[in-house]
Amino acid sequence: MQSLKEKMKEFDNMLLRLLLCYGFKKKRQHLFVRKQGDCLQHISILETKVRGKSQVHIMVFVGFQFEKVDKVIYFIQNEKYDAKWGTGNVNIDVLMDTKIPYGFYLNEDTALEPVVQNIFQAIERYALGFWESCDTMEKYEKKLLEKDRIIVISTVALKRPEWNELALAILLGHRSVEEVFEEHAEEFKRNLSLFQIAQERIKQYNVLKEVGI
């Protein structure tokens, strides 16, 4: 009989074989990624050990990362860039719009094929459309401005929508920085010191950009 550790390795391999048709590669255990232009899209499996049992519970998260957006946010917040955090991330059951949590309990005896097929079908049905809706910075900005519920939810837990809007305004130039500041004045001023740092760092960023650094 397989150990639970071996079972979870097999789970990853089975899921990867299905995901290959959509261009995904395995980056590390339980993490699968693909690049669509400037957008890095990911599927991550959160594995939690069940206390007192030889059993784990798994949940599925999907997300995306625009490195340029994240780097601008870190720069204007005067923080060191950390690539491990994405631009957006959400539990797939949010995309399903269900009140029933989506996940599975696995042990050494679990038949993996039905579980992997179920997860793959959920990714096809819900995650592909989610990624397509925001796979460019222009689309992502549009969704944020439309206050798209799913996109906002995916962003809130990470850098928060107003900071992403600010970074996109700087990068794309479709809106002015002042317009974003004005629209989100309440949110920015909840952390006044960070807001003031950002105002100064944006000036520095624009100078660096002008001289091509």
pLDDT digits (tens, 9 = 90+) for 77-131: 999 998 888 899 999 999 998 888 999 999 999 999 999 999 999 999 999 999 9
In a domain, 60, yes or no: yes
- Count how many Cα atoms sit within 13 Å of the Cα of residue 72 in the half-sphere of its side chain: 23
Residue range 149-164, pLDDT digits in tens: 999 999 866 668 999 9
Number of domains present in the structure of the chain: 1
In a domain, 180, yes or no: no
In a domain, 185, yes or no: no
Q: What is the pLDDT of residue 96?
A: 95
In a domain, 145, yes or no: yes
In a domain, 70, yes or no: yes
pLDDT above 90: residue 205 = no
Name the 3-class secondary structure at 34. strand
Confidence bin at 1 (pLDDT 50/70/90): low
Per-residue pLDDT, averaged over 12-36, amounts to 98
Environment class of 35 (CB within 10 Å of its CB; exposed 0-12, middle 13-18, buried 19+): exposed
**Predicted model pTM:** 0.91
Q: What is the pLDDT of residue 213?
A: 45
Yes or no: say if 151 and 83 are a contact pair by the CB < 8 Å rule: no
Residue with tokens 């491990």: 84
Q: Which domain holds residue 127?
A: 4-160
Residue range 51-82, pLDDT digits in tens: 999 999 999 999 999 999 999 999 999 999 98
The secondary structure of residue 22, as a DSSP letter, is G
In a domain, 17, yes or no: yes
In a domain, 83, yes or no: yes
Please state, as a whole number, how many other Cβ atoms lie within 10 Å of the Cβ of residue 170.
22
Q: What is the pLDDT of residue 97?
A: 87
Distances (CA, A) of 30 to 22, 80, 136, 165, 213: 17, 26, 25, 30, 37
Please state, as a whole number, how many other Cβ atoms lie within 10 Å of the Cβ of residue 189.
12
In a domain, 187, yes or no: no
Give the β-pairing of 39-49 and 104-107.
unpaired
**Which amino acid type is present at position 31?**
L
Residue range 134-146, pLDDT digits in tens: 999 999 999 999 9
Q: What is the pLDDT of residue 159?
A: 65
